[in-house]
Structure 1
C-alpha cells in the first residue's frame, strides 16, 4: 500500500502531467480543474486533514487577488483600459515605436494590475492591432507575453509568486525593496526583449509608417469609478512607502490596499454584482487548491530532502536564479515559490529578490513557465491565432539567458 509520502508526490506528478497534456494534446481540462483534482485527491485520501487544508489557504493572497481582479474587471468592462492603451499606442508612428510602447506600457502596468489581468485584456488588443496594421500577430503576442512577464518582476503585486514572497517574508516595505533591487534590471530586460524581437522578426520592420485610431469608452460611469480605484491604489501604495520611510508604527498591509482600492467599484457601481460574477474565479480556485496540494507535499518532507541532497547549492544568487527558472518549468512558478521559499533560512533581501526575479522570468523561457502565457494563447486561439512551442522558445530561450545574466549582475 502506498504510504503518505507517495500519495502526495504522485498527486503532484499527476497534476503536472495533466497540465502538460492539456496544453499539448486535445484534452479540454482547464488548469484550475487539474489543480482542484490534485487538492481533492490528497484531501479525500486523508493525506491532509480538512482543518489543515483550510489553514493552508493563504487568506491574504486570496483577498488581495480578489480585490485586484475586481479593479481589473471594472476597467475592462467599462472599456477604460482598452481606451487608455489605444491612446498610448496611437502615438506610435512606426512598428519600432509601437513595440517599445507595448513593452513599457504593459510592463509598467503589470507591476500594478498583475500580469494575468493584463494577459486577458491585452490579447484582443494585440490581435486588433495586428489586423489593423497587417503585421504578424505572433510578434505582438510575444511582445505582450514578454512585457507582462518581465515588467511584473519589479513589484510585490506584479504577479502571484511575488505576492507570496512579500507576504511570507513579512517585508516591512515590499514596494521599496522590489523597486530598489529589480527596477533597473527589469527596465534593461525590457530593452533586451525589444532588441531580440526586432532581430527575430526583422522582416516585419520594413513597412512604412503606421496609424492607430483611439478607442472610445463604452461605459463612462464605470470608467470614472475605475479611474478612482486605480488612483486610490497608487495613493495607498505611496502611503505605505512613506509610512515605512518615516518608521511609522501604523502599517498598511497589502491586503488592505487591494480591498480599499476595490471599494469604489463595490459601493458605487450599479454593475457591481455583474463585475463580481465575472472576475477570474477560476484563478482563485486554482490558488486555493494549490495551497492545499503544496501543503500536503510539503508535509511529506520529500521535496525538502531532494533539495537538501541536491548538488546545486542554492546558497548563491546565481544558483537561486537558475534553480528558479529551471524548476518553474517543471512545477510552475507559483507552486515552486510556495515550496522553495521555506527552504531559504534567514534569506537576505537579495536572496528573496533573486527568487522573485528567477521565478518570474521563467515565464519568458517556455509557454508553460507562466500562467499568463497560457491565458494569452487560450484567448488568441478563440480568434484563430496561436503561438507554438517553437515560436515561443526560439525567442524565449536567448531572452531568458540574458535575463538571468542581467539580474545576476545587478543583484
Structure 2
C-alpha cells in the first residue's frame, strides 16, 4: 500500500525537474503519468478512478474556463484590465494593484477563478510595459492564494471547514480572525517580491494605452457572463448569511454564468476548442492519484499517531502547510478536520487549518491548484513558465513570514 506514496514522490520530483532524459514534460503530463502508474499497478481500479474525479470541480473549472476564454478572445478582458490598472503609474503600484486587487477579488470569486482570468491580464501588462512576466505571475499566484484566506468561499478547503467545522457565522469569523493578518501578508508578499526582483522596480512612469474590442457581440456576451458570475456569487453569500437551506453549488454558478458565451455565441465551438483542456486533464489525473494515496492510509496513519501533538495552532499551521504539498489542501483538510473537531478545538484552531492549508500554495507549485492553472495558462498563452525552483526559492521565505503572522494573530 506504500506504492501510491512512492508514485506521488516521483511525481513531485518530476515536477521539480520537468524532464525525463531529453523529453520536456508539461505538468499535466507528469500528473497523468502518476495516475497511469497507480492504474497499471492496480493500486486503484478503473471504476474507483472514475468515481474519484470530482465532477463539481471539473464542471466549475469548465464553466470558468469558458468565460475566461470568451473574455480574452473578445478583447473585453483587456478593457477591464485597462480600467483597473490605468491608475498604476509605476512598478510598485502595478505589483500592489495585482496583490490587493486580485487578492481580495479571489476571496469572493474563488482563487481558481481569478487564476484563470488574471493570467492573461498580467501577461498583457508584461508585454505592454516590458515587465518581467515571471514577477507578475508570482504576484498573481501569491495574491489569489493569500487573498482567498479571508473568506469561507475563497477556496474549496475554506468552504469545507465552514460547512463541517461548526463555526458560527463563517463570513464574520473568517473576517474577524483572518482579515488583518491577510492584509499584512499581502504587504509581506510585496516586500518579498521587491527584494528578489529589485532590479526590475524602476521609477519609470508607465503609460497605459486603451485597448480596442475585437468582437463586439462576444464582448457583450462575455460581460453578461461576468456580471452573472458576480451576481450569483453574491447570491450564494446571501444564502449562507441568511442560513437558507439550499444547495447552491459553485458548479451551478459557473455553468449558469457560462450560458451566454456557450449557448448564445456563434463562435462557441472555436471557444471550446481554445479552452485549457490540459489543465482539466491535470485535475482529473490528480484526483485519481490522490484517491489512490488516500486509500493507502499512509497520511491518515501519520495524523492519527500524532494527533495529541498536532492540535495546537502552531502545529496546525506547520503540518497543514507541509502536508498540503503532498496530498493537496482539500484532502489534507478532510483528514485533519475530524481530528480537530473531536479534540473540541475552538474557532482559532479551525481557522489556523484554513490559513495553513491555503498559504501552502505559496510554498511550491503543487501547493495550490491555482498555481497549476496560472503556469499552464502562461505556457499556453504567453510562452513563459515558472519552474519549481523559481517558485520555491521565493515561496519559502514568504510562506515562513506568512505562517508566523497568522500564528501571532491566531494565538493571542
Q: CA distance change for structure 1 residues 377 and 255 in 2, over 3 Å: closer, same or farther?
A: closer
Q: Equivalent residues in 2 for 1:164-243 (5 A)?
A: 178-179=174-175, 181-243=177-239
Q: CA distance change for structure 1 residues 158 and 250 in 2, over 3 Å: closer, same or farther?
A: closer
Structure 1 match to 2:405: 406
Q: Secondary structure at the match of 1:102?
A: helix
Separation of aligned partners in 1, 2:82 and 2:8: 42
Q: Secondary structure at the match of 2:2?
A: helix
Separation of aligned partners in 2, 1:117 and 1:71: 10
Separation of aligned partners in 1, 2:168 and 2:145: 25
Separation of aligned partners in 2, 1:331 and 1:249: 31
Separation of aligned partners in 1, 2:251 and 2:116: 23
Structure 2 match to 1:109: 105
Contact 1:294 1:338 in 2 (8 A): no
Separation of aligned partners in 1, 2:375 and 2:245: 45
Separation of aligned partners in 2, 1:214 and 1:353: 42
Structure 1 match to 2:52: 56
* The 10-residue stretch of structure 1 (347-356 or 140-149) with the greater mean CA deviation from structure 2: 347-356
Structure 1 match to 2:31: 35
Q: Equivalent residues in 2 for 1:9-408 (5 A)?
A: 9-22=5-18, 27-112=23-108, 114-116=110-112, 118-119=114-115, 122-123=118-119, 125-130=121-126, 132-156=128-152, 158-159=154-155, 161-162=157-158, 178-179=174-175, 181-310=177-306, 313-333=309-329, 336-337=332-333, 340=336, 344-346=340-342, 350-373=348-371, 376=374, 392-393=391-392, 395-408=394-407
Separation of aligned partners in 2, 1:173 and 1:242: 12
* The 10-residue stretch of structure 1 (30-39 or 222-231) with the greater mean CA deviation from structure 2: 30-39
Separation of aligned partners in 2, 1:70 and 1:255: 13
Contact 1:71 1:229 in 2 (8 A): yes
Separation of aligned partners in 2, 1:23 and 1:148: 28
Deviation of 1:84 after TM superposition, in Å, equals 0.9
Q: CA distance change for structure 1 residues 200 and 80 in 2, over 3 Å: closer, same or farther?
A: same
Contact 2:171 2:241 in 1 (8 A): no
Tell me, which stretches of 5 or more residues in structure 1 are unaligned? none
CA RMSD, Structure 1 to Structure 2 (Å): 3.5
Contact 1:82 1:121 in 2 (8 A): no
Separation of aligned partners in 1, 2:43 and 2:200: 54
Separation of aligned partners in 2, 1:119 and 1:253: 20
Contact 1:156 1:175 in 2 (8 A): yes
Separation of aligned partners in 1, 2:118 and 2:397: 24
How many residues end up aligned between the 2 structures?
407
Separation of aligned partners in 1, 2:168 and 2:218: 34
Separation of aligned partners in 1, 2:374 and 2:253: 27
Q: CA distance change for structure 1 residues 386 and 84 in 2, over 3 Å: closer, same or farther?
A: same
TM-score by length of 1: 0.82
Q: Output one character per residue of 1:258-280: Cα deviation in whole Å (capped at 9) or x when no partner.
A: 22222222221222222233333
* The 10-residue stretch of structure 1 (305-314 or 158-167) with the greater mean CA deviation from structure 2: 158-167
Separation of aligned partners in 2, 1:195 and 1:407: 17
* The 10-residue stretch of structure 1 (368-377 or 103-112) with the greater mean CA deviation from structure 2: 368-377
TM-score by length of 2: 0.82
Deviation of 1:315 after TM superposition, in Å, equals 1.1
